[in-house]
């Protein structure tokens, strides 16, 4: 038998029967069903995101993610090693190679500068491991840029080395007359007594006294600028342009063995000792010019004489005697 409920009506001072409306009853039922459904859906979603309900595909993806993390870690370790090697090369480049070739160093800021402007890594954003992937990609890009800059620098060093080799070959570094052919070191660079006027004047080269016909050698690589007797006082003479600001003159020759425009190497015979022009006796008048200014040839003799021979020549050249031209 259905239980009947009553309530007390205080206005009429009587008990009245509680009557439940069907609509309200159905509302309670619907609310219960809806709540149960929402609870069930939420519980299902939570359960799907717990490891207890991983599918084989989920487990495979998880393993792949872990493998990728390990690979990225290994890649970063390798990049650390590459970075260390690059730093060593950069240090040698700046402090050794560039110092030796007297060229400016490449600043650290330029070597390790990033990439400005557009966000290059926007497509990598929004994923669980975006930070790892973006940071690794940035390191790869920076290392690639460092390697490219270093490669360009080494290309420049190779070019400078080749130029240095040309420079060393161009410097007038040997005596124009061999020691065994020398009678004496007649006169050096500086103020000397003129053999004709006996007046003290500046002597712009060195005089090597030697028998007529003694071979004269190019003191550095270059191109014959002139081989004639048109310059006043020098008689038959040769001018060799070596490049890098160097030029040499060989005066009072008996004859030439080269002609204008001819390329010569250090040690090539270019002419022979004579006494043409304003000359008192057979000898070679030899001058060295650097950037248009005459300089002391003695400062460049390092290619074919010993220290003892250099000391003797230096002593003779420093004596203020009479020149032969």
> What pLDDT, in 10s, does the model give residues 59-97?
777 777 777 788 878 888 888 888 888 888 888 888 877
Which of these ranges, 18-27, 203-212, 241-250, has the smallest mean pLDDT?
Answer: 18-27
What distance in Å separates the CA atoms of residue 205 and residue 279, rounded to the nearest whole number?
14
Q: How far is CA 261 from CA 224, 230, 235, 255, 258, in A?
A: 5, 17, 20, 17, 9
Q: Is 234 in contact with 256 (CB distance < 8 Å)?
A: no
pLDDT at 306: 65
Nearest to 167 by CA among 159, 178, 175: 159
DSSP state of 264: E
Percent of the chain scoring above 90 in pLDDT: 21
Which of these ranges, 22-26, 125-129, 255-259, 282-286, has the smallest mean pLDDT?
Answer: 22-26
Tell me the range of 116-120, 186-190, 269-273 where mean pLDDT is highest: 269-273
The pLDDT-based confidence of 224 (bands split at 50, 70, 90) is very high
Can you read off the two tokens belonging to residue 211?
């028998």
pLDDT at 131: 77
Distance of CA 298 to the CA centre of its chain: 35
pLDDT at 35: 78
What distance in Å separates the CA atoms of residue 308 and residue 313, rounded to the nearest whole number?
9
What distance in Å separates the CA atoms of residue 12 and residue 16, rounded to the nearest whole number?
10
Pairing of strands 190-193, 200-203: antiparallel
pLDDT at 250: 97
pLDDT at 197: 67
What distance in Å separates the CA atoms of residue 290 and residue 287, rounded to the nearest whole number?
10
What distance in Å separates the CA atoms of residue 188 and residue 100, rounded to the nearest whole number?
33
The domain spans of the chain are 6-51, 66-170, 179-317
Identify the CATH number of the domain defined by range 179-317.
2.70.70.10
Q: Is 279 in contact with 324 (CB distance < 8 Å)?
A: yes
Measure the N-to-C terminal CA separation of the chain; round to a whole number of Å: 153
Distance of CA 100 to the CA centre of its chain: 12
Tell me the range of 66-70, 128-132, 215-219, 305-309 where mean pLDDT is highest: 215-219
Q: Which carries the bigger pLDDT value, residue 11 or residue 181?
A: 11
* DSSP H helical ranges for the chain: 22-48, 56-92, 98-100, 108-111, 130-170, 307-317
Tell me the range of 55-64, 98-107, 124-133, 207-216 where mean pLDDT is highest: 207-216
Distance of CA 23 to the CA centre of its chain: 89
Q: How far is CA 85 from CA 25, 117, 147, in A?
A: 81, 29, 10
The pLDDT-based confidence of 214 (bands split at 50, 70, 90) is very high
- What is the model's pTM? 0.55
pLDDT at 271: 96
> What pLDDT, in 10s, does the model give residues 125-149?
767 677 777 778 888 888 888 888 8
């Amino acid at each position: 038998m259905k239980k009947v409920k009553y309530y007390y009506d205080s206005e009429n001072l009587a008990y009245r029967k509680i009557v439940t409306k069907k609509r309200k009853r159905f509302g309670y039922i619907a609310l219960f069903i809806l709540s149960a459904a929402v609870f069930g859906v939420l519980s299902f979603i939570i359960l799907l995101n717990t490891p207890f309900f991983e599918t084989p595909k989920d487990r495979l993806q998880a393993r792949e993610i872990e493998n990728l993390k390990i690979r990225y870690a290994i890649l970063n370790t390798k990049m650390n090693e590459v970075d260390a090697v690059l730093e060593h090369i950069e240090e040698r480049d700046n402090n050794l190679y560039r110092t030796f070739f007297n060229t400016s160093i490449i600043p650290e800021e330029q070597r390790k500068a990033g990439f400005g402007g557009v966000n290059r890594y926007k497509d990598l954003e929004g994923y669980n491991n975006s930070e790892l992937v973006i940071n690794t990609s940035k390191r790869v890009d920076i290392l690639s840029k460092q390697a490219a800059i270093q490669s360009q620098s080494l290309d420049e060093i190779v070019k400078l080395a080749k130029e240095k080799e040309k420079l060393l070959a161009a410097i007038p570094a040997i005596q124009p007359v061999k020691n065994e052919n020398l009678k004496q070191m007649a006169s050096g660079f500086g103020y000397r007594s003129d053999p004709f006027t006996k007046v003290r004047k500046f002597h712009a080269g060195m005089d090597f006294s030697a028998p007529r016909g003694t071979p004269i050698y190019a003191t550095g690589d270059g191109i014959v600028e002139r081989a004639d007797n048109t310059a006043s006082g020098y008689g038959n003479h040769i001018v060799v342009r070596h490049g890098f600001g160097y030029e040499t003159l060989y005066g009072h020759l008996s004859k030439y063995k080269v002609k204008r425009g001819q390329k010569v190497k250090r040690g090539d015979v270019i002419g022979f000792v004579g006494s043409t022009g304003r000359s008192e006796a057979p000898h070679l008048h030899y001058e060295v010019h650097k950037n248009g200014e005459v300089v002391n040839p003695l400062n460049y003799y390092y290619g074919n004489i010993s220290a003892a021979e250099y000391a003797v020549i230096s002593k003779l050249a420093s004596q203020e005697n009479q020149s032969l031209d």
